[in-house]
Amino acid sequence: MVISGPFAVSQSRPDTIGYSRWAPAARLKGLLETLQAHDVSLLVDTRLQPCSSQLKGRYGPKDWTLQSGAAGLAHHLGRIGVEYLWLSELGNPQRHDPDMAVLRAHLEDGGMRWPVNRGLELLRGRIEGDDVVCLLCTCRDAATCHRTVIGEAVRARYFGERLDVRSLT
């Protein structure tokens, strides 16, 4: 998903993107080229855990995981002038629940004790700026990914019809 600004314009749009759309060998190239094609200037990482699950081997660091130094997704985005922002507050607190019941309950509650509501405030601030914003998650299908729930929530809570959410993948 990508969210673009500035938002004085009525036809602004937010977009989302899921990198599993591309096979591993083509993943980084496909992701970067798609972001560039849509003039994205800020990629907001909504993964709860953007780092690799292991330090080495099959589940070790990849180009699309968060790493330190000159490696990983933040580094590669920097090479093409796209800002990287990890909003850990926007991660899905229960990723083994296809209905996203916990996440939806926190959104409905609206209270700041729940991370997603703090994350939406932060996201709103960036959408109101001059950035073209895209929300990143792993999932191939935007329709079943929490990033779409997040995008729709920020739209409904702060922007209404001034914001439009769409998937780039």
Q: Which of 2, 145, 150, 153 binds Zn ion (CB under 5 A)?
A: 145
Least distance from C-beta 9 to Zn ion, angstroms?
Answer: 28
DSSP 10-33: TT--EEEEEGGGS-HHHHHHHHHH
57 Rama class: left (phi>0) / alpha (psi -120 to 50) / beta: left
- Which one, 77 or 90, has the nearer CB to Zn ion? 90
Give the range of 22-30, 83-91, 103-111, 130-138 binding Zn ion by CB under 5 A. 130-138
**How many of the other CB atoms lie within 10 Å of CB of 70?**
10
Give the range of 21-29, 54-62, 66-74, 135-143 binding Zn ion by CB under 5 A. 135-143
The strand pairing partners of 107, in sequence order, are: none
116 is an interface residue for Zn ion by CB under 5 A: no
Binding site for Zn ion (CB under 5 A): 137, 139, 145
